[in-house]
Amino acid sequence: MMKFVLGTAATAAFLTLAVPAFAECDAQQERVVGQAIADAVKADAEGISGPVRKAVVDLDRCEGGSTHFDTQFKVKAALADGKVVWVEGHARGVNDTVESIHYRHASTELTELTRGTALASR
C-alpha cells in the first residue's frame, strides 16, 4: 500500500514539473502582453485598412509563467478615417513576443475590409 502512495506522489510531482505552470498574469506582465498584442494586431490591420491611430487592448484572460503567456483578448482600434473596429482572439507568446495569434470574431466594419484578403491567424 505504501508503494502505491509513493508512486502516485512521484507521478504527480513529475506531471507538475513536465507541464509549464501558468498563473494569472501580474500587472507588469499584462502591460507587456497587451503591448505585444496591440503591436501584432496593428501590423496585421494596417496592411488591410491603412493607418491605425489608436489601439486599446482588453485582456479577457491572461495566464502567464515566468516568461510565457496565453491570453484571450479584444482589441478596439480607431482607423485613420475615424471608424472604430474591433477584433477578438487568442494569443500565445514568450516575454514581449507574440508567437501565435488567432482571430475569432471581428466587427462588421473590419470584416468588410478583410473580405478577399489574407488577414488570418498566424
Inside any domain, residue 11: no
User: Looking at per-residue confidence, does 66 or 10 come out higher?
Assistant: 66
pLDDT at 79: 87
C-alpha span between 118 and 80 (Å, rounded): 21
Cell numbers standing for residue 37: 498584442
Average confidence (pLDDT) over 92-116: 87
- Residue 117 in this model has a pLDDT that exceeds 90: no
Inside any domain, residue 1: no
Inside any domain, residue 13: no
Per residue in 43-65, pLDDT tens?
888 887 788 888 899 998 899 87
Q: Give the domain CATH number at 52.
A: 3.10.450
Inside any domain, residue 65: yes
Per residue in 8-18, pLDDT tens?
444 444 444 44
Inside any domain, residue 84: yes
C-alpha span between 45 and 42 (Å, rounded): 5
pLDDT at 75: 94
Based on the structure, what is the number of domains in the chain? 1
Residue numbers of the domain that contains 86: 21-114
Cell numbers standing for residue 108: 462588421
Whole-structure pTM value: 0.71
Nearest C-alpha neighbor of 95 from the set 41, 37, 29: 29
pLDDT at 14: 42
Per DSSP, the residues of 86-120 read: EEEEEEEEETTEEEEEEEEEE-HHHHHHHTTS---
Inside any domain, residue 12: no
